Amino acid sequence: MIERYTLPEMGRVWSDQHKYELWCRVETLVLEAHAAAGRVPADVVQPVRDAAPPTPARVAEIEETTQHDVIAFLTAWADNTEPRSAAAYVHHGMTSSDLLDTALAVQLTEATDLLLARLDRLVAVLRDHALAHRDTIKVGRTHGVHAEPDVWGHRVADIAFAAARSRDRLRAARERVGVVAISGAVGTYSLIDPSVEVAVADALDLRPADASTQVVMRDSVSEWVACLAIVATVCETVALEVRHGQRTEVRELSEAFGSGQKGSSAMPHKKNPIRSERIAGLARVVRAAVVPVMEGIPLWHERDISHSSTERVFLPDAAITTDYLLHLTTGLVADLVVDADRMRANLESTGGLIYTSSVLLELVEGGASREDAYALVQSAAMETWNSGTPFRETLRKRAADSGVALDEARLDEICRPERYVANLGPLFDRLAALS
């Protein structure tokens, strides 16, 4: 991922330097387990442990010749080992994927922990924002069209729960990707004892893979990426809500606009939802990772490395982008400008059409058939749409023409927006308990 969208902690997780540090750690743990079992000389452990990780530049230089990154790494690290002869026992009984998949599991869990911390913050800011606006009346929309009265906090609460569920999915996925595979060339432990795998897993606070055939099956990695895609799309849901709300014709929501900020190079009046649009665009990047990574599950007879090049691109990019998206979305919600007066004005802009559902039920409960009541209310509503005459007026006219008596006092009661949201208390109680 380009530097523009990379935050320091997550960038560090996926840096080449950190990767080689992890490779050193895994190889050292394997060597220690061999030495403890008496399979290699005990005096080689300390020199290897003390050897500095090779630099990415040195590994790349050697790889130009070897065309094999693990061999290049082992050679560069051996050059840092004193005496160099101790390095002869590094990678003992292992295959490349033992090292690669185990170190990748550490990277995935480290990245996940950063993402889970950001999700905690996003859930909290969404929860608190929703609770602060549990009484902020607005019009609810379906298909972009005014429907019934609602409160802004209800919409935000829905997203808050989705963010919490996304966090739960990612936490479960962390457990499945956090596996160690130290099983040898085709995963049969032919040249390495299974106890080594267990020892390495314990030291890394991971678990041994249930099975591996030189590589770990990519279903769990695919699940992890899919979880990130859902997280990114929940972030986009927030962004889309703001983008719609900031449209000039709506003007109910807006991103914070700082002093000195510019909205357009040509039109000085513009205040554009640029953060929301960035979120929407980057969510596509994360979703784009799902299928290529998933295609790493079926490999050629019985395994190949076609998944490797895909994952070198998409795993860091998906994690780094999701990290940035969570950062952006949390800030977007924390600084969001909500225009409650404009929400109320928009709610009232259709002349009472938002109360047709209650009027319909009132007529049915008064003895009219549903078909007749619907026809009466719809005809009055269509006249309001076409003429701009307030709905109560068109309703009175149509009711009089049809010989239907209206209880005006009752209509006053049911045509109040607060009545529509009176039963949302339990929802906000559940939200308040969300952590």
Which is catalytic among the residues 143, 259, 301, 435? 143
CA 71 to the chain's CA centroid = 36
Pairing of strands 137-142, 337-338: unpaired
Catalytic residue among 85, 264, 309, 402: 264
Q: Which two tokens stand for residue 187?
A: 């995963």
Q: Active site includes 269?
A: no
Distance of CA 358 to the CA centre of its chain: 38
End-to-end Cα separation, the chain, in angstroms: 31
Q: Are 191 and 241 in contact (CB under 8 A)?
A: no
Q: Determine whether 264 is an active site residue.
A: yes
Q: What is the rounded CA–CA span in Å between residue 320 and residue 330?
A: 16
Dihedral in degrees, nearest 10, Cα atoms 319, 323, 326, 331: -160
Helix (H, G, I), strand (E, B) or coil at 146: strand
Whether the Cβ atoms of residue 173 and residue 228 lie closer than 8 Å to each other:
no
Q: Taking the CA of residue 95 as centre, how many other CA atoms within 13 Å lie in the half-sphere pointing to its CB?
A: 19
Determine contact, residues 236/285, Cβ cutoff 8 Å.
no
Give just the sign of the alpha carbon dihedral 117, 121, 122, 126.
positive
Residue 41 one-letter amino acid: P
Can you tell me the distance from the alpha carbon of 8 to that of 406, in angstroms, rounded to the nearest whole number?
66
Which long-range contacts link 98-102 to residues 24+ away (Cβ below 8 Å)?
98/30, 98/181, 98/182, 98/183, 98/184, 98/192, 99/23, 99/26, 99/27, 99/70, 100/70, 100/308, 101/179, 101/181, 101/212, 101/215, 101/216, 102/26, 102/180, 102/181, 102/182, 102/200, 102/204, 102/206
Nearest residue to 328 (alpha-carbon basis) of 238, 259, 251, 253: 238
DSSP string, 111-125: HHHHHHHHHHHHHHH
Q: Kindly list the catalytic residues.
A: 143, 264
